[in-house]
Chains A and B, each alone.
Chain A
Amino acid sequence: MSLKGRHLIDPNDFSLSELDEIFDLADRMADDRDSFGNICNGKILGTLFYEPSTRTRLSFESAMLRMGGKVLGFSDASTSSVSKGESIADTIRVLSSYADVVVMRHPKEGAPKLASEYSLIPVINGGDGGHQHPTQTLTDLLTIRRYRGTLENQTIAFCGDLKFGRTVHSLISAMSRYKGSKFVLISPAELRLPGHLKSSLLEKHNVGIYETENLEEVINQVNVLYMTRIQKERFFNEADYMRLKDSYILSRSKLKDSREDMLVMHPLPRVNEISYDVDDDKRAVYFKQAEFGIYVRMALMALLLGVNVNVNRK
């Protein structure tokens, strides 16, 4: 099934072969970006950001501009007709005639899904509350695939706030579809992966899951270490926070026992969960990960728009 005209609301909306199609194109774009500089000439990306997001919005805008397209939209709902009480359905129906593809970030969960039901153009979920952030997941998958060569048989450790982190939920759910995935979940008891998500992963995909509170216990056993920020206010009491806070900060000394080819990933922005002295370690790929986010968004939009991408084929 072609990706042209489709929406991306949930990473699992696409089959594994459709995801491969996006990643294959993203790889070609990363290796030869200039060749794709005009493939979206005459196309317009609409950006509907109902809540502030610098990184995701700029990443989408950069991706479209790098393909020769143009961008219009708003980055603050208070300056748009939305502040007058316009429904999402009305906004998207009007925007369907102004743009060719739209990315929406919204604080309410399910808002992009609602928009997709009334839109005449492809809708991309740019993050809806604590629910989904599928283009971050595509970015994470592309990063793992580029460094490891495959998405199968990976042991991934997730460290930090696994209860509220939507990037973690999305990536675990997406990686569960690949053969041989194993997950190591490192978090304090209060911030463990929600039980309903864990049981659904075990029922549907029979994946291996190991839970611990201690990063150092498992750091030498994993291919990928996915760090997330852990917020003080998420702890139930100060004593637990003081006891555990340092165990969720990755420093260069903690990396000494890890595999030479392990990847340290982070959705960014980081605060203090990865020490600056890790940045120049070859295992730290989080800034490359952010760069791959541009290529995966370029590939995604090009395929949803159905533009000609056979530009650098021999």
Chain B
Amino acid sequence: MLTVNSINCGIVIDHIAAGNGIKIFEKLKLDEVDFPVVLLINVSSRKLGRKDIIKIENKIDVDLTMLGLIDPNITVNIIENDKIVKKMNTIIPEEVQGLFKCKNPRCVSNFDEYVTPKFHLAKANGKIHYRCGYCEELTTYSI
């Protein structure tokens, strides 16, 4: 079994659905940093079967809203002196502004440079969708 040392001080992004780890790694631009980062993929998980984990040996700001949009099951642990000092869940925002575009090609938000796309949370069939504040079409965030 592969073992990875625990980190002394930093952040662990856990319970990432298998396959999303690399996407979050890229979204957080962790390939450009100068401190140690570990991306673990396909780790056994009781809850998810398989999961991805990112360990970052530094305290950086992570956008819990952005993580929530990608995968609402993600947890973020803050580590200090080898201990978890804070455990945070991602946020599924009720309102989203500017993080992604409306999928409707006829929506005004895709044409007028003045507009910042905005969305309201709309759950449908157990999935998370966002309803466009302009054209009302449903868009699902994907990375």
- Residues of A at the B interface (CB closer than 8 Å) are 87-90, 106-111, 113-114, 128-131, 196
Mark the stretch among B32-40, B58-66, B110-118 that contacts chain A. Answer: B110-118
In the complex, residue of chain B having the shortest beta-carbon distance to the beta carbon of A130:
B106
Beyond A88-B114, A110-B108, 12 additional contacts (C-beta under 8 Å) are A87-B113, A89-B112, A89-B114, A106-B108, A109-B135, A110-B132, A110-B134, A111-B134, A113-B133, A114-B108, A114-B112, A128-B135
CB pair A87–B106 under 8 Å, yes or no, is no
CB pair B138–A196 under 8 Å, yes or no, is yes
Contacts of A113 in B (CB 8 A): 108, 133-134
CB pair B134–A88 under 8 Å, yes or no, is no
* A108 vs B115: C-alpha distance when bound (angstroms): 13
Interface residues on B, range: 10 to 19
Contacts of A89 in B (CB 8 A): 112, 114
CB pair B113–A108 under 8 Å, yes or no, is no
* A42 vs B109: C-alpha distance when bound (angstroms): 35
Q: Which label, helix, strand, loop or mixed, suits the secondary structure of the B interface?
A: loop
CB pair A129–B113 under 8 Å, yes or no, is no
Set A108, A131, A196: member contacting B111, Cβ < 8 A: A108
A–B pairs, 8, beta carbons within 8 Å? A87-B112, A88-B108, A109-B107, A110-B107, A110-B109, A110-B133, A113-B108, A114-B134
Contacts of A106 in B (CB 8 A): 108
How near does chain A come to B39, taking the closest CB pair, in angstroms? 37
Contacts of B26 in A (CB 8 A): none
* A114 vs B124: C-alpha distance when bound (angstroms): 26
* A151 vs B138: C-alpha distance when bound (angstroms): 30
CB pair A131–B112 under 8 Å, yes or no, is no
Contacts of B82 in A (CB 8 A): none
Q: Find the residue from A89, A107, A114, A130 having the highest chain B CB count within 10 A.
A: A114
In the complex, residue of chain A having the shortest beta-carbon distance to the beta carbon of B125:
A199
In the complex, residue of chain B having the shortest beta-carbon distance to the beta carbon of A111:
B108
Contacts of B134 in A (CB 8 A): 109-111, 113-114
B104 contacts chain A at the CB level, 8 A cutoff: yes
How near does chain B come to A12, taking the closest CB pair, in angstroms? 11
How near does chain B come to A31, taking the closest CB pair, in angstroms? 36
Contacts of A110 in B (CB 8 A): 107-109, 132-136
Provide the B118-143 mask, 1 if CB < 8 A to any CB of A, else 0. Answer: 00000010000000111111100000
* A198 vs B90: C-alpha distance when bound (angstroms): 32
Contacts of A128 in B (CB 8 A): 108, 135
How near does chain B come to A48, taking the closest CB pair, in angstroms? 13
Contacts of A107 in B (CB 8 A): 106
In the complex, residue of chain B having the shortest beta-carbon distance to the beta carbon of A109:
B135
Contacts of A114 in B (CB 8 A): 108-109, 112, 114-115, 134
Contacts of B108 in A (CB 8 A): 88, 106, 108-111, 113-114, 128
* A130 vs B136: C-alpha distance when bound (angstroms): 11
